[in-house]
């Protein structure tokens, strides 16, 4: 029963993300190393699951180790400069072979429908094609990259047409020219260009390691694009694949991709945990802050109700109807964590007085250890000063000491303004606290 309860709670908690992701476009990159891994089938199952949930999915795979192996079989040394392959005619032949073999391998796994398996009934339709127009990278720093190219154009109209039909689009890291030439492309850069062209909701880069601070050894959960640039400049021992992913993330965010996720593909289920849980397990990069404190708007009301309903049942807060929230929405402040309301409070000004009532101060239980209550209170102080309020009241049945620790003083019913005395619920018998600011 304990496992059943955990499953039910997880499933319920994931439902907002299921709704939010439906009909959104995700571009996912994974390297050739993932294709060689025995756990590839698990990753493919996760892709199929995303498709079944109505997510418009573009998969971009890498082929670097496959090309290296092909060259090694021919006794040819791989050539790189600035982490980019120099693709001579021999390497180009390996590119063609590797792209074809890897694409077929992924398509075959996505086509599985064995009974009593995760792919049972999936019926994933996979589409590949010449959606990418390329051009030669040319000569840089005196190095001729030959058949190594860069993206010239993405046929976004054709891609959207396939996505609208519910197809999963699978892209190999090669591009074609109008004259019929073929060029080897960086898979990470290609995925980023596709995400930009499609105005994708998310670009997901599955790397060989997590994005961690080398000094502390801790996973970095989130950064803005500006913070990411500072991180790259100060981290001198970043793995080349991680740095490449971070550079792609910055470029993608600056070009309009809303969210870029960097995930360690070696962690089984990382993709699902990242997309369908509150905190995920990767690194989220965005052009704006991931978590903000801001004035509430009408669209926040469902999130506020979801947050405060458990606290109402426990007696911490008084019940509020949708109509009450709509009428007083301008009094509310919320903490918005990537579209989820994890904290809220309100400051109700007493008519014709320089007095205000603090109410509905709540922080989600999973986020109560990072001083978010203090942050909400500071926002209330700023709002009070803006509204010329110099006296604050709070009514509490169970959090009196929290307010006292922040310099609120015990007060009494008789000190409340007449309007608050008239609405005071004597059956609830809340303690009155007061603070001058």
Give the start-to-end residue ranges of the domains of the chain. Answer: 2-289, 292-436
What element of type H or E holds 45? helix 40-52
Strand partners, 261: 204, 284
Q: Given this model, what pLDDT does residue 328 score?
A: 95
Q: What is the pLDDT of residue 116?
A: 58
235/204: higher pLDDT? 204
Top mean-pLDDT range of 119-123, 235-239, 298-302: 298-302
Quote the pLDDT of residue 331. Answer: 96
Q: How far apart are CA 297 and CA 97, in angstroms?
A: 55
Query: By the 8 A CB rule, do 118 and 49 touch?
Result: yes
CB atoms within 10 A of CB 69: 16
* Mean pLDDT, rounded, for 149-161: 97
Domain 292-436 is of which CATH architecture?
3-Layer(aba) Sandwich (3.40)
Model confidence band, residue 384 (pLDDT cutoffs 50, 70, 90): very high
Q: Assign residue 204 a region: left if phi > 0, alpha if psi is -120 to 50, beta otherwise?
A: beta
Tokens for 347, please give them. 């400051």
* Residue 67: C-alpha distances to residues 1, 101, 266, 324, 404 (Å): 50, 11, 21, 64, 66
Q: Could you tell me the pLDDT band of residue 114, with boundaries at 50, 70 and 90?
A: low
Q: Is the pLDDT of residue 117 over 80?
A: no
Q: How confident is the model at residue 112 (pLDDT cuts 50, 70, 90)?
A: confident
Cα atoms found within 13 Å of the Cα of residue 435, Cβ hemisphere only: 17
How confident is residue 5, by pLDDT bands cut at 50, 70 and 90? confident
Domain made up of 2-289: CATH architecture = 3-Layer(aba) Sandwich (3.40)
Contact call for residues 46 and 271 (beta carbons, < 8 A): yes
For 241-297, the pLDDT digits (tens) are 889 999 999 999 999 898 999 999 999 999 999 999 877 899 999 887 778 899 999
Residue 338's nearest CA partner among 370, 365, 311, 303 is 303
pLDDT in tens, 316-340: 888 999 999 999 999 999 999 878 8
Q: Are 158 and 37 in contact (CB under 8 A)?
A: no
């Amino acid at each position: 029963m304990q496992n059943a309860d955990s499953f039910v709670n997880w499933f319920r908690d994931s439902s907002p993300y299921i709704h939010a992701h439906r009909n959104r476009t995700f571009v996912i990159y994974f390297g050739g190393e993932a294709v060689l891994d025995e756990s590839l089938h698990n990753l493919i199952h996760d892709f199929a699951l995303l498709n079944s949930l109505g997510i418009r999915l573009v998969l971009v795979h890498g082929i670097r180790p496959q090309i290296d192996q092909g060259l090694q079989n021919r006794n040819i040394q791989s050539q790189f400069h600035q982490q980019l392959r120099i693709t001579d005619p021999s390497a180009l032949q390996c590119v063609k072979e590797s792209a074809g073999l890897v694409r077929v391998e992924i398509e075959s796994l996505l086509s599985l429908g064995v009974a009593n398996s995760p792919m049972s009934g999936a019926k994933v339709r996979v589409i590949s094609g010449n959606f990418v127009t390329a051009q030669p990278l040319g000569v840089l720093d005196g190095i001729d990259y030959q058949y190594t190219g860069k993206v010239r154009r993405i046929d976004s109209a054709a891609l959207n047409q396939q996505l609208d039909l519910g197809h999963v689009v699978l892209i190999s890291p090669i591009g074609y020219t109008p004259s019929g030439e073929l060029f080897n492309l960086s898979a990470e850069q290609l995925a980023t260009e596709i995400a930009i062209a499609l105005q994708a909701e998310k670009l997901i880069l599955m790397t060989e390691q997590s994005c961690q601070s080398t000094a502390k050894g801790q996973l970095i959960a989130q950064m803005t694009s500006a913070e990411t640039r500072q991180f790259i400049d100060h981290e001198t021992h970043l793995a080349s694949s991680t740095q490449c992913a971070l550079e792609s993330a910055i470029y993608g965010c600056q070009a309009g991709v809303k969210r870029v996720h960097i995930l360690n593909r070696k962690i089984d289920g990382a993709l699902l945990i990242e997309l369908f849980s509150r905190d995920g397990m990767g690194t989220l990069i965005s052009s704006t802050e991931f978590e903000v404190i801001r004035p509430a708007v009408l669209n926040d009301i469902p999130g506020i109700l979801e947050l405060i309903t458990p606290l109402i049942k426990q007696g911490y807060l008084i019940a509020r109807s949708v109509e009450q929230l709509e009428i007083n929405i301008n009094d509310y402040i919320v903490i918005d964590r990537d579209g989820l309301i994890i904290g809220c409070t309100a400051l109700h000004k007493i008519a014709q007085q320089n007095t205000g009532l603090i109410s509905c101060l709540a922080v989600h239980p999973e986020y109560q250890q990072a001083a978010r209550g203090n942050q909400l209170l500071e926002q209330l102080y700023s709002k009070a000063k803006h509204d010329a309020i110099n006296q604050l009241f709070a009514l509490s049945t169970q959090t009196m000491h929290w307010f006292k620790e922040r310099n609120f003083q015990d007060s009494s019913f008789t000190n409340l303004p007449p309007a608050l005395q008239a609405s005071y619920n004597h059956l609830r018998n809340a303690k009155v606290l007061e603070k001058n600011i």
